[in-house]
């Protein structure tokens, strides 16, 4: 069997005008060229390799792979394509392809840009074309981004999908402050500023209904507290825009909340009682702090930001190990069930509120069904979890037996909810387990 005349055709996924040479048009040009150059006597002698919907950026295309295999087996006499960028838009790929063509005696004919690889000077000008193709490809990518940027420049919100909690998208596609959800956002920032823990914030905001029926978890709350969009600042593709999203939180409140929450997330790991100690008289939680002794030994302290009571970690550790309540497994399970029941109660309250709205004809049939769907799902999940608790085995380990700071930190984080400190005596008033 003689060596074949191959026609390679590619159209990209980017339906850009510059790249929009259709499959049929490319085929037609290849056929015309092959007939004119008398490479074939009729069109069906050309074997076509067509990659429809593939970018020229990589060689991860089924048909080009097939063609390469054939060339490597010396089965190809010539490859005809519309232009060099059909084969590849990457300098590196194009070069290795051309070398491979050469090594296996396959000729390359690019109709549009007259590419030839026979002589050194041919190869030089081909390389220039390859570079140009790569430049073109980068420009196409840029242009797509530019499209979104120009949306942002014109004062509209460029990101598709769901807008941040606290906002809603108006009929005109612009972003507006949601009257009630934004108050929840504000509440989160104010609580964070006052030094409330993320757990406290979570419990508080989950008791208030919101328009999206979101049940917040700690990670979501942390994300919200870190999101500069609430100060009216939209960061998009390396640029800041201040006139697209309206402000919910003033800069000073945002910064204050950052300062307080960052102190914990940054240094929390080294502190065994991070975010666990509460002042009995002020109700604030203690801030982590530390000092270094003359010998370079580090000592951790915890300080009430209100009454400035300071308690050392070492001292606390001894007392805690002695006082740690021996929570039996059945009690722990009961508490888990309690926790789930509390969440179920919140969800049922929300259902009642929605039902009331429906009965007062504030919401229509479809909205009613739609609003109830996620809540019922959440209820099912919780009921499932509740049924599973009986099968759970709880590994109990005594705090006093632990040696490393790391172990203790993990134990406290997982098992202790709050340790209430009496500021006058610096003693533990009460330990609340999770």
Task: Reply yes or no on whether 55 is catalytic.
Answer: no
- Tell me how far, at minimum, the Cβ of 263 lies from Zn ion, in Å: 17
Q: Is 160 left (phi over 0), alpha (psi -120 to 50) or beta?
A: beta
- Tell me how far, at minimum, the Cβ of 218 lies from Zn ion, in Å: 24
Nearer to Zn ion, 111 or 304 (CB): 304
Q: Which residues bind Zn ion (CB under 5 A)?
A: 279, 282, 304, 306-307, 423
Please give the backbone phi and psi of residue 429, each rounded to the nearest 5 degrees, phi first: -85, -45
Of residues 61, 64, 85, the one with CA closest to residue 139: 85
- Tell me how far, at minimum, the Cβ of 153 lies from Zn ion, in Å: 50
Angle 240-151-177 from CA coordinates, rounded to 5°: 65
Q: Distance (Å, rounded) from C-alpha 218 to C-alpha 286?
A: 19
- Tell me how far, at minimum, the Cβ of 288 lies from Zn ion, in Å: 15
- Tell me how far, at minimum, the Cβ of 303 lies from Zn ion, in Å: 9
Q: Find residue 7's DSSP bridge partners.
A: 48, 80
- Tell me how far, at minimum, the Cβ of 422 lies from Zn ion, in Å: 10
Nearer to Zn ion, 230 or 278 (CB): 278
- Tell me how far, at minimum, the Cβ of 283 lies from Zn ion, in Å: 8
Which one from 12, 55, 164, 197 is the annotated catalytic residue?
A: 12
Q: What is each CA distance from 272 to 165, 315, 434, in whole angstroms?
A: 33, 12, 16
Task: Write out the two tokens for 203.
Answer: 């419990």
Q: Distance (Å, rounded) from C-alpha 188 to C-alpha 190?
A: 6
Nearer to Zn ion, 241 or 429 (CB): 429
Q: What is each CA distance from 163 to 177, 212, 315, 318, 348, in whole angstroms?
A: 11, 11, 48, 49, 27
Nearer to Zn ion, 39 or 282 (CB): 282
- Tell me how far, at minimum, the Cβ of 286 lies from Zn ion, in Å: 8
Are 4 and 47 within 8 A, CB to CB? yes
Q: Distance (Å, rounded) from C-alpha 432 to C-alpha 434?
A: 7
SS3 71: helix
Nearer to Zn ion, 279 or 354 (CB): 279
Q: What is the DSSP string of 170-187?
A: -TTS-EEE-TTHHHHHHH
Are 21 and 9 within 8 A, CB to CB? no
Task: Write out the two tokens for 235.
Answer: 């960061």
Of residues 416, 245, 398, the one with CA closest to residue 326: 398
- Tell me how far, at minimum, the Cβ of 257 lies from Zn ion, in Å: 20
Nearer to Zn ion, 35 or 307 (CB): 307
Give, to the nearest 10 degrees, the angle between helix 198-206 and helix 218-226: 100
Q: Which residues, at least 6 apart from 129, have a Cβ–Cβ distance to it below 8 Å?
A: 84, 113, 115
389-400 residues labelled b (16+ CB within 10 A) or e (exposed): eeeeeeeeeebe
Are 182 and 248 within 8 A, CB to CB? yes
Nearer to Zn ion, 9 or 304 (CB): 304
Nearer to Zn ion, 282 or 319 (CB): 282
Nearer to Zn ion, 122 or 306 (CB): 306
Point out the residues that are catalytic: 12
């Amino acid at each position: 069997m003689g060596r074949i005349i191959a026609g390679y055709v590619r159209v990209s996924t980017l339906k850009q005008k510059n790249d929009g040479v259709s499959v049929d048009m490319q085929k037609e040009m290849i056929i015309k060229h092959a007939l004119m150059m008398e490479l074939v006597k009729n069109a069906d002698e050309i074997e076509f390799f067509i990659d429809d919907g593939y970018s020229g950026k990589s060689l991860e295309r089924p048909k080009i792979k097939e063609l390469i295999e054939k060339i490597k087996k010396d089965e190809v006499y010539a490859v005809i394509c519309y232009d060099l960028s059909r084969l590849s838009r990457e300098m590196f790929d194009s070069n290795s392809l051309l070398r491979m063509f050469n090594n296996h005696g396959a000729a390359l004919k690019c109709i549009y840009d007259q590419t030839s690889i026979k002589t050194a000077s041919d190869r030089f000008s081909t390389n220039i074309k390859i570079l140009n193709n790569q430049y073109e490809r980068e420009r196409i990518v840029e242009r797509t981004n530019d499209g979104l940027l120009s949306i942002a420049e014109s004062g509209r919100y460029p990101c598709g999908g769901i807008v941040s909690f606290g906002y809603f998208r108006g009929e005109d596609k612009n972003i507006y402050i949601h009257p009630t959800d934004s108050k929840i956002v504000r509440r989160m920032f104010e609580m964070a500023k006052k030094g409330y823990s993320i757990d406290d914030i979570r419990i508080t905001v989950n008791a208030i209904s919101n328009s999206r029926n979101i049940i917040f978890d700690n990670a979501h709350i942390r994300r919200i507290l870190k999101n500069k969009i609430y100060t009216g600042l939209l960061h998009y593709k390396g640029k800041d825009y201040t006139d697209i999203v309206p402000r919910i939180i003033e800069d000073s409140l945002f910064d204050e909340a950052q300062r307080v929450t960052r102190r914990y997330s940054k240094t929390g790991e080294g502190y065994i009682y991070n975010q666990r100690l509460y002042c009995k008289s002020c109700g604030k939680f203690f801030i982590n702090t530390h000092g270094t002794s003359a010998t370079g030994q580090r000592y951790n302290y915890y300080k009430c930001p209100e009454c400035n009571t300071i308690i050392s970690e070492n001292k606390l550790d001894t007392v805690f190990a002695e006082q740690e309540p021996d929570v039996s497994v059945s009690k722990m399970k009961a508490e888990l069930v309690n926790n789930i029941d509390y969440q179920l109660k919140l969800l049922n309250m929300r259902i009642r509120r929605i039902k009331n709205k429906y009965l007062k004809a504030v919401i229509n049939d479809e909205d009613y069904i739609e609003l109830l769907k996620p809540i019922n799902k959440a209820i099912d999940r919780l009921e499932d979890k509740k049924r599973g608790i009986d099968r759970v085995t709880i590994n109990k380990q005594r705090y006093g037996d632990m040696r490393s700071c790391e172990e203790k930190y993990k134990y406290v984080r997982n098992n202790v909810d709050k340790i209430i400190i009496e500021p006058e005596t610096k003693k533990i008033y009460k330990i609340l387990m999770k």
